[in-house]
């Protein structure tokens, strides 16, 4: 999210797998993934480019599509939730159980707990009408 708009195609800061991201880059500052927030807020010294970062961002888009609102109200809300033990994923408006399962396993605070590309490719076709 950058200036209140979803940022999907900004590739000026594209990185190769496992290369460091610049915490001062506007596109990195716009990332609402927990590990990017911790980097920008100075709680982490380094963040390496990894697909789990992208999958969290895909989860944010899916959340808004399935639930009808953004997961975070604003950047400070995202920071607050990242600093808490868990990210609160209120999927009450989403009645489709597979969609809820995908959201809960894509929007995990810790990258190693998130769905992989293979997981998403298996689960997404199973989602019915949210």
* Cβ-contact 103, 91 below 8 angstroms: yes
Specify the pLDDT at position 16. 80
Instruction: Give the pLDDT means over successive 10-residue stretches in the chain (130 positions).
Output: 53 72 88 92 92 91 91 91 84 88 94 94 85
Give residues with Cβ within 8 angstroms of 84, minimum separation 6: none
Specify the pLDDT at position 42. 92
Closest among 54, 72, 60, 73 to 103, alpha carbons compared: 60
The Cα 122–Cα 116 span in angstroms is 10
Specify the pLDDT at position 90. 85
What's the chain's length in residues? 130
**pTM score of the predicted model:** 0.84
Specify the pLDDT at position 2. 53
Specify the pLDDT at position 99. 93
């Amino acid at each position: 999210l950058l200036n209140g708009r979803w940022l999907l195609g900004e590739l000026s800061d594209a990185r190769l797998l496992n290369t460091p991201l610049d915490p001062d880059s506007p596109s990195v500052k716009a990332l609402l993934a927990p590990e990017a927030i911790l980097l920008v807020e100075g709680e982490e010294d380094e963040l390496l480019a990894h697909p789990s970062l992208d999958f969290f961002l895909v989860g944010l888009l899916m959340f808004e599509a399935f639930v009808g609102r953004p997961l975070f109200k604003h950047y400070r809300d995202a920071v607050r939730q990242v600093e808490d033990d868990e990210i609160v994923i209120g999927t009450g408006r989403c009645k489709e159980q597979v969609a809820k399962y995908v959201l809960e396993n894509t929007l995990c605070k810790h990258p190693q707990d998130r769905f992989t590309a293979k997981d998403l490719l298996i689960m997404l076709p199973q989602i019915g009408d949210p």
